[in-house]
Structures are given as structure tokens and as C-alpha cells.
Amino acid sequence: MSKEHLAFYGGRKSVEKNFGWPVFDDNEIKAVEEVLRSGKWGSPNCQDKVAEFEQAFAGYCGTKYAVSCVNGSVSLRIAVIASGIRPGDEVIVPPYTFIATASTVIECNAVPVFVDIEPGTFNLDPAKIEAAITPRTKAIIPVHFGGLACDMDSILAIAEKHGLTVIEDAAHGHGAEYKGRKLGSIGKAGSFSFQSSKNMTSGEGGVVVTNDEEMYKMMASLRNVGRLEEGQWYDHFNAGCNYRLTQMQAVMLTEQLKRLEVQTRIRHDNGRYLAQLLNGIEGIEPLKSDVGETLNCYHLFIFRYRPEAFGGLGREEFVNLLGAEGIPCLKGYPHPLYKQPLFQEKRFMCYAIPESADYTGVYCEEAEKACNESVWILQNSLLGDKSDMEAFAEAIRKIKAAFS
């Protein structure tokens, strides 16, 4: 097979289907129209649709409470503050994640401490956590990266031994499960994002779920300018802000939640099937799927790419060729988080962070490798059918044949 057969060079595309995202139907349109016509778009006193969504999402996750807010960074931020993290406390986070996992810790005047990821899952490596614990450590934020559950039993056991709070960053984890429990419902609190690319979206948005009443009340207050449920509109008790969701966003999310379970099962089945197909291609190594996750929502389908098995074809070029074949994909983060100028140059603007905090010597080998070797296929393409997964594998074989 020659290069001319590749779509990038003018050949026929392997996948013609357009995996659009976001998806919606008349139910969203009707629900948003109803809110528009009602004139009840948001506070004050017009939060019934928001409350309905929160109840539905908490129920779906199996938790008592949910507090929605403007995005999945703020949801993490209010969870961190409400969990009792104080200035100068240390919080363990993985370095292979979106910046918000660590920058929200900084925003709370606390110190993110990076612990490397497991090579097979790209999730926080429990075997490396204890070495990073100091008397100042107060919490762990495991990220269920790409929708694949972290090893929560091991993380919770370490947290319990050292008296640490576990806040799950489930920004990628809508509907996914660990040993039959919904991600986000396993630690003290679980945070989700509803930003446009996420498996459930209202354009922007976020939510935290918890079973802890005290934490719930504090997060609800922080989200609502420090007000208390029993207080008056102009009474402010806590240092919160207006982080409220609108009623239009809430009804969109209520509709999206109704299809989440079906979509998650489709992504799970397709992801497993695709992993099986790609495992047969030398140089393509999908992540593991035997770490206790009973349902993977595949926000990202991730594999390592080995150029040496593709005649030296670089990863960037491979991703461009695969994209041209009709498969939405990315090469992911260019660096582990500690390499960002925010950390290297300590541009924190939070003066409670001790001078001793220094990221210039941090090096997490597995996170570095993940940044250099991974390819992400985006969740919407896993909403296709089995024949689409076969076409994805075929597209990769086609590229391989052109370069080997």
C-alpha cells in the first residue's frame, strides 16, 4: 500500500461517518423553550429546574447531594475549600491531567504535590502515594483519566491510614463505574465537568456530588455568594461567589442525563471491542481494562503509539493522518503539569503558598512518557457501531502498511 491511498494524501477516507458532538434532540429544544417562555431563567427564586437536575444527578450517582455550578474547575475548587483544606496544606494530584486539577488547589492557597501515574492506566499510582505524604498532606485528588476508574480501594486505604480526604476529579467520568459504584460517589466528594467536549454537556457547567451534609451545605453556600439556605438574599456568611448554573443549562443537563446510561454502555462496548482489535496491531498499545472498572465511559480512548513499528512515522504525523481518515483524535497534553510556567515560575498570586514549594526538580517518568507516546480518540467517535471500530482499526493498518 502506498501513501497515495491515505486520505491525507488524497486517497479515500476510511471513515465517512460524521461523529458530531454535542448531540441533542427535540427534548432539549422543548425544555429550553419552556424555560425561555416561563421567564424563570435564574436566581433570585427561579432555581427549580436547577434543583431538579441536582436531585436527578445525585440520584443517578447514588449520592445524597449534588451542587451544580458554572464549570468543572469551580466544582473542584468549592469541593477543595469545603473539605477543610487550609492555606499551606498539601494535596496530592497526578501530573497527567488538565490544569484545573492542580490549579484549583493553588487557588485555594494550598500546594499541589505531583505523584506519578501508573503506566497501564495513566491514573494516579497508589504505590507511589505514600512516599509523597508529609505532615502537611491533607487530601488526594485522583483523576479518573479518560473515564477509566482509578484504583480506588488502594487510594481509599492509604487515605484512611493517613487521615486524608479523597476528592475524585470525575470530570471525564460521567456514568462510569468502579466495582459497580458510580465514579464521583466513592470519595468524600466527586467533581464533574459539563464543558462542551464532555460526555454530558450544557456548553459549560459543573457539579459536585457528596454524601456529607456539612460539605454539601458549605459547597451550596460557596456557589451562592456565601448565602445560607435559611438566610436572606443580602446575608452573606462565607467567602463564596456567584457560581450558579442557569435554568436553561439545568434543563439541557436533565435531558442529557436521560441518555447517559445508554450512551455510556455503547461507548464501553465499543471501547472494549476497539481495544481488542488494536491489541492485534504491533506498535499500538491501548490502556489496561482490568483495574476494577465495571463500566468505562471512554471520555477518551487512549493508546500508546510506537513510531518504530510504523517505519519511524512520528506521532504528530500519525495523528494528522488518522484524523484525515475520519477519526477524531489528538495527541493529548504536551507536558506533565509541573512543566507548565505556572509551576516552573511559581506564578501563583497566592501568597499563602510557602516559599519552599519548588517544582523545578519534579520529574514523573510515566507522565513524561504518557505525554510523548499517547494518542487520544475522542468519546463521540465511540458512539458509532462495531463496524466503525473495525474501520478505525483498518485505518491504522492502512497507515502502517504505507509506512512499513
Ligand X SMILES: Cc1ncc(COP(=O)(O)O)c(C=O)c1O
Q: How far is the CB of 41 from ligand X (least distance, A)?
A: 21
Catalytic residue among 49, 138, 144, 172: 172
Q: Which is nearer to ligand X, 14 or 165 (CB)?
A: 165
Catalytic residue among 53, 169, 194, 263: 169
What would the DSSP string read from start to end of 386-397? HHHHHHHHHHHH
Give the integer Cα–Cα distance in Å for 85 and 107. Answer: 11
Q: Which is nearer to ligand X, 14 or 75 (CB)?
A: 75
State the alpha helices, DSSP H only, in 115-151.
none
Q: How far is the CB of 251 from ligand X (least distance, A)?
A: 19
Strands 300-305 and 284-286: antiparallel
Catalytic residue among 77, 182, 198, 398: 198
Q: Residue 12 catalytic?
A: no
Q: Which is nearer to ligand X, 7 or 167 (CB)?
A: 167
Q: Residue 144 catalytic?
A: no
Q: What is residue 173's DSSP assignment?
A: -
Q: How far is the CB of 253 from ligand X (least distance, A)?
A: 13
State the maximum Cα–Cα separation within the chain, in Å, rounded to a whole number: 72
Q: Which is nearer to ligand X, 187 or 206 (CB)?
A: 206
Q: Residue 227 catalytic?
A: yes
Catalytic residue among 49, 138, 182, 244: 244
Q: Residue 195 catalytic?
A: yes
Contact of 200 with 215, CB cutoff 8 Å: no
Q: Residue 198 catalytic?
A: yes
Q: Residue 172 catalytic?
A: yes
Q: Residue 5 catalytic?
A: no
Catalytic residue among 26, 232, 234, 290: 234
Q: Which is nearer to ligand X, 123 or 193 (CB)?
A: 193
Name residues whose C-beta falls within 8 Å of residue 301's C-beta, 6 or more positions apart in sequence: 146, 271, 274, 275, 286, 376, 377, 379, 381, 382
Q: How far is the CB of 183 from ligand X (least distance, A)?
A: 12
Cβ atoms < 10 Å from Cβ of 229:
8
Q: Which is nearer to ligand X, 98 or 338 (CB)?
A: 98
Catalytic residue among 49, 77, 138, 227: 227
What would the DSSP string read from start to end of 44-65? SS--HHHHHHHHHHHHHHT-SE
Q: Residue 244 catalytic?
A: yes
Q: Which residues bind ligand X (CB under 6 A)?
A: 71-73, 76, 97-98, 100-101, 143, 169, 171-172, 193, 195, 206
DSSP-based three-state secondary structure for 299:
coil
Helix axes 72-82, 213-223, angle to 10 degrees: 130
Shortest-Cβ-distance residue relative to ligand X: 72
- In three-state form (DSSP H/G/I as H, E/B as E, the rest C), the secondary structure along 174-228 is CCCEECCEECCCCCCEEEEECCCCCCCCCCCCEEEEECCHHHHHHHHHHHECCCC
Q: How far is the CB of 119 from ligand X (least distance, A)?
A: 19
Active site positions, annotated: 98, 169, 172, 195, 198, 227, 234, 244
